[in-house]
Amino acid sequence: MPLTAQAQQWYQARVAAGVRPLYTRSLAEARAADLAEIQASGGEPEPVHQVCELAVPAVQARSGQPIPLRLYRPTDQSGLPVLVYFFGGGWVLGQIETCDAVCRRLANLAGCACLAVGYRLAPEHRFPAAVEDCADALVWLTANATDHGLDPNRIAVGGDSAGGNLAAVTAQAAPAGSLAAQLLVYPNTQYRADTASLQAIDDEALFNRRSVDWYWSHYLNSPADGADPRVSPLLAAELTGLPPALVITAEYDPLRDEGERYADRLAGAGVPVECRRYDGVPHGFFTMSGVLDESGQALAQAAGFLRRSFAR
């Protein structure tokens, strides 16, 4: 279907404003523009009961550096389940602030805490830096959950775009049975995936196949890294026993098909999977609740999935 009326309005505004593709900007320009655009389209951030700045101590991180964390609590209730959330941005852009609105909304809707992870970015820190930070954050949370009023037996991982990739990779590496769920929002799942959506989405006003290539070029040390399942979770030999998954994709997204392929592989391995494609919207729509109705719908779907998963 064509872009929805709201998405078309957003698209025309970008064209009229002469928004430049990220791959034509300097790294500093791309980072500044990414945060500004997400905050502008994310709507007014919802209040939550409490927001705490935390960190994985340097001595507990493989990097030898503290890993910034931000904990969102919807209530003062003890023993809350928790979603560990990894922001998007192609492993190059983004920061905890990037997913602030999403974490607030999911915390309130799902009745769970959200822990946002400030993993290291490429190209300053290429693969596997982000993977290590996300895994180290999960280990820290599991060991320290009760100290922060959280339930170590009800932990899920999630993220959007590159954050969805990191969530999938983290779920694969986690001990069997240790996670309640994985929320994968238009995730990258295969380096240089040969898919129809990757070839078809080439509009410069949208996130397109050249945007994808730009991210990969900054994240990987060499193309050979792309064969590593910690880069391309779709290439993992075994997916049996992974936690239940919700995979959300967007019609106008070069990553659409590889996300859906991953959902199919999970289902084939016996993993409970819900997969929903949102038609008429672009990559990034999940963070655009101030602009697109579909964002609110997807957030509500994600929250319902988390509630059911934590209840199990």
pLDDT digits (tens, 9 = 90+) for 4-62: 999 999 999 999 999 999 899 999 999 988 888 888 898 889 999 999 999 999 999 99
- The answer to whether the CB of 256 falls within 8 A of the CB of 71 is no
Catalytic status, residue 148: no
3-class secondary structure, 53: strand
In the set 41, 161, 197, 232, the catalytic residue is 161
- Catalytic, 293? Answer no
Round to whole Å and give the CA distance between 152 and 155: 6
Distance CA 150, CA 160 (A): 23
Q: Which pLDDT value is given to residue 43?
A: 86
Note the Cα 204 to chain centre separation in Å.
23
CATH for 5-311 (3.30.1360.120, 3.40.50.1100, 3.40.50.10860, 3.40.50.1820): 3.40.50.1820
Report domain extents, the chain: 5-311
Quick check: 34 and 93 in contact, CB under 8 A?
A: yes
> CA 266 to CA 244: how far, in whole Å?
9
pLDDT for 161 equals 98
pLDDT attached to residue 1: 85
Instruction: Give this prediction's pTM.
Output: 0.98
- State how far the Cα of 37 lies from the Cα of 282, in Å rounded to an integer: 14
Distance from C-alpha of 228 to C-alpha of 239, rounded to nearest angstrom: 15
Query: Which among 133, 160, 257, 283 is annotated as catalytic?
Result: 283
> Which position among 100, 133, 253, 257 bears the catalytic label?
253
66 is written with which tokens? Answer: 């503290």
211-237 pLDDT per residue, tens: 999 999 999 999 999 999 999 999 999
* Residue 270 confidence (pLDDT) above 90: yes
- Asked if 161 is an active-site residue, the reply is yes
